[in-house]
Amino acid sequence: MNKQAVPLILALAAAGCVYPAERGKMLEGRVDQLESDKAAMSASILAQREQLEAQLPIIQEALTKLEAASRRSSADTGVQVEELQGVISTLRGQLEEQTFRISQLESALKELNEQQAAQNQKMDEMKAAAAAQPAPALSAAQNQAPSDGSSEKKPGAAAGETASAAKSGSTAPQPAPAAPPPPPPQPDKPINKSDPKAFAEAISDKLKSDPAAGRKLADEFLRKWPKHAQSARVHYDLGMSHFDEKNYRAALAEFGVFIQPDTPKAFTDSKWAPEALLKSADCFAALKMNQEATMALEEVVNGYPRTPASKTAQARLDEQKKAQAKPQQKGKTAGKKKK
C-alpha cells in the first residue's frame, strides 16, 4: 500500500460520521450507522498506536548509531551526527503528527459517542410519546344520528328553489367529478438472498428507490458476507447513496474501507476501488479538506494507473498544478514591471 494512503486513512476515519436527519424508523438506521462508525474509529486508533510502537525500535536504533558515532574519529563524527540528528528530527516529527492525529480521532470518537447517546435518548422519547398518545375518538356530531327531519328539505321547498333558479336564469353548480383512485402499490420483487451477486444487485436497485430500506438490506448483506467480492460493490453503492444526499462524511465512511490496512484483497482488486477513492476526493473537496482531496487523487493515480478513474484523477491534479502556478506567474510579472 502507498505510504501516502496512511494519512488518507486517518482523514477518512475522522470524517466518517453520520449526521442524524431522519425520524422514526430512519432514526434506528442512523443509530446502527453510528455504532458501526464507532467500531471503525476504535480500530483505526488501535492501528495508529501499533504503528507508533513499531517506530520506537527505529528511534532506539538511531540513538545507538549516534552513540557509536560519538566514539569514531572527529572527521567522521560531525557527518554522522548530522545525519542521525536529521533522522531523529524526522521521526520525532512523524511521532508528533501521529500523536496529534490520534488525539483528533479520540475527540471524534468521543463526539460520536455523545451523538449516539443523544440519538438513543431521542428515540426513547419518541417511543414513549407514541405510546402515551390516545387513540383518536369520533366527534359527537359523527356519533349522533339525526332525530328529526329538520335537515331534510320538503318537496315544496325544493320546488320553490327550482322555480326561483329558473326565473333568475342561473343554474345549480354541478359537483366536480371524483378523482380516480390511485393505483395499488406494486409488490416488491422477491430477493434471492442466497446468491451474493443477485442480492447485491437488488440492494443497488433498492438504494435508488428507497435508501432507508436499501441500507437495511446492505447491513444484512455485510453481516452475512463481510469480505465477499460483492461486498465491495455494496460498500460503494452505500457510499453513493449518502453522496447523493450530500452526506459526505457518511459517504467517506463507506469509501474508506477500500484503503484500510486490513482491507480484503477482493476489495482492492475490484473495479469499485478506484471509483470509491475518486468519489472520496469529491467528498473531501465538498468538506473543504483540500489536502486530503489531493492525497486521494494521488492514491488513485499511483494505486490504479491504468483505469479511467486514474485518468480523471490525473487530469484534476494537473488542473490543481496549473491553478497553483498562476499566482506565482503573476507575482513574477509584477516584479519585472516594478524593476
293 — phi, psi (to 5°)? Answer: -60, -40
* Range with the largest mean pLDDT of 110-119, 160-169, 186-195, 307-316: 307-316
**Per-residue DSSP letter, 260:** S
Q: Which residues of 17-42 are buried (b: 16+ CB within 10 A; e: fewer)?
A: bbebeeeeeebebbbebbeebbebbe
Rounded to 5°, the CA angle 331-334-337 comes to 155
Give the span between the Cα atoms of 91 and 54, in whole angstroms. 12
pLDDT for 118-159, tens place per residue?
777 777 777 777 776 655 544 444 444 444 444 444 444 444
Helices (H), the chain: 5-15, 25-69, 74-132, 140-143, 155-168, 196-209, 211-224, 229-244, 248-255, 265-268, 272-286, 290-303, 308-338
> How high is the pLDDT of residue 273?
93
Unique residue bearing C-alpha cell 468538506: 287
Per-residue pLDDT tens for 278-305? Answer: 999 999 999 999 999 999 999 999 999 9
The answer to whether 41 and 108 are in contact (CB under 8 A) is: yes
| Residue 197 or residue 109, greater confidence | 197
Q: Is it the case that residue 212 has pLDDT exceeding 80? A: yes
Highest mean pLDDT among 16-25, 257-266, 285-294: 285-294
With contact defined as beta carbons under 8 Å apart, do 34 and 108 qualify? no
Entry pTM: 0.47
Distance, in Å, from the CA atom of 294 to the CA atom of 305, rounded to the nearest integer, reads 16
Give the amino acid at 255: F
In order, the DSSP letters of 76-135 are HHHHHHHHHHHHHHHHHHHHHHHHHHHHHHHHHHHHHHHHHHHHHHHHHHHHHHHHHSPP
